[in-house]
């Protein structure tokens, strides 16, 4: 076992690794044999796979809000795929769908309209979080369209901004990381997500309009920090849907990096890829749908950076 900075490396058999990821042992052995699982080693005829886990002193759950007020920037795609890569490294992951559009819920194979209990009930009726377990190796608190009315219903509620944090506190001991997929707005639900989180991760589309909207986004983060959550930190900005071959995207990426560098690290751009949409049709993260896709490596690197930031091994500074 290797240990550093509060994290420890464990070696899992393919059967143990498959159980954590919600896939078959045969599938994992096939990936390992094809060189598609980083660090996998064959010892005595058996594949062993390294995963990182928090050490005893690092067991507190970290909560990350995936937030951008604009729609269509790849926010839910990022939350789903990062959650999967965290889980594949041995972390126990909880995904929270805080968007009334319920895209994350649908991406993981559930039918939002058929759900009788969702995150809405935890926020408005003060029940426990309704958790669906082992969906691609992760757990999920789902959403549906009923959440659209929550903002109006919460207007006069006591401790409205703290309700999600309180609900998450009840399951904190069971998870290493919670990823909150915030709605694409600056409304109350997004504020709840930021108020409940330790970190905010911002996906930014490499288009000029998205570039113009980052100032307003950061003002919202600053306001939540000042009034509700003084410990909230920006863990990074992730350029999404990046078309490297276009001059426009390269120019916007350069401008974004210059604009945001003082607020947090701008991470490796996630390339535009039709396979993201195809993967969601099959309710799979990209790494399960097409493990050889170049974007998988980018997401691996992004997950490694964020895990380092969460557990004190970051190559880039986490900033307020």
CATH number of 60-310: 3.40.50.300
* pLDDT tens, residue by residue, 9-35: 678 888 888 777 667 888 888 888 877
Work out the pLDDT band at 315, boundaries 50, 70, 90.
very low
Domain extent listing, the chain: 1-59, 60-310
For 1-59, CATH number out of 3.30.70, 1.10.10, 3.40.50, 1.10.287 equals 1.10.10
Q: pTM for the complete prediction?
A: 0.81
- 206 CB-near residues (< 8 Å, 6+ apart): 239, 240, 241, 242, 243, 249, 252, 253, 256, 269
Checking DSSP bridges between strand 62-66 and strand 138-141, what pairing results, if any?
unpaired
pLDDT at 1: 34
DSSP string, 274-303: HHHHHHHHTT--HHHH-TT-HHHHHHHHHH
pLDDT at 198: 95
């Amino acid at each position: 076992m290797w240990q550093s900075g509060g994290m420890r490396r464990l070696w899992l058999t393919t059967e143990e690794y498959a159980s954590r990821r919600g896939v078959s042992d045969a599938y994992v052995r096939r990936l390992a044999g094809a060189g598609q699982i980083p660090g996998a080693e064959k010892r005595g005829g058996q594949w062993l796979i390294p995963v990182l886990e928090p050490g005893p002193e690092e067991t507190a759950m970290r909560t990350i809000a995936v937030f951008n007020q604009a729609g269509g920037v790849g926010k839910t795609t990022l939350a789903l795929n990062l959650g999967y890569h965290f889980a594949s490294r041995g972390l126990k992951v909880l995904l929270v769908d805080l968007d009334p559009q319920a895209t994350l819920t649908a991406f993981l194979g559930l039918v939002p309209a058929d759900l009788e209990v969702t995150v809405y009930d935890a926020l408005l009726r003060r029940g426990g979080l309704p958790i669906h377990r082992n969906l691609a190796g992760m757990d999920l608190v789902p959403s549906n369209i009923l959440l659209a009315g929550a903002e109006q219903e919460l207007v006069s509620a006591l401790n409205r901004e703290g309700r999600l944090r309180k609900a998450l506190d009840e399951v904190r001991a069971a998870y290493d990381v919670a990823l909150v997929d915030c709605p694409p707005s600056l409304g109350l639900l997004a504020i709840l997500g930021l108020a409940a989180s330790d970190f905010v991760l911002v996906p930014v589309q490499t288009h000029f309009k998205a570039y113009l909207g980052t100032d307003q986004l950061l003002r919202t983060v600053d306001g939540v920090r000042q009034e509700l959550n003084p410990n909230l930190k920006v863990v990074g900005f992730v350029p999404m849907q990046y078309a490297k071959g276009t001059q426009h995207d390269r120019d916007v990426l350069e401008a974004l990096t210059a604009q945001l560098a003082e607020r947090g690290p701008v991470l490796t751009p996630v390339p535009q890829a039709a396979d993201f949409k195809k993967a969601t049709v099959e309710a799979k993260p990209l790494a399960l749908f097409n493990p050889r896709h170049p974007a998988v490596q980018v997401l691996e690197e992004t997950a490694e950076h964020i895990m380092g930031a969460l557990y004190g091994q970051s190559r880039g500074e986490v900033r307020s």
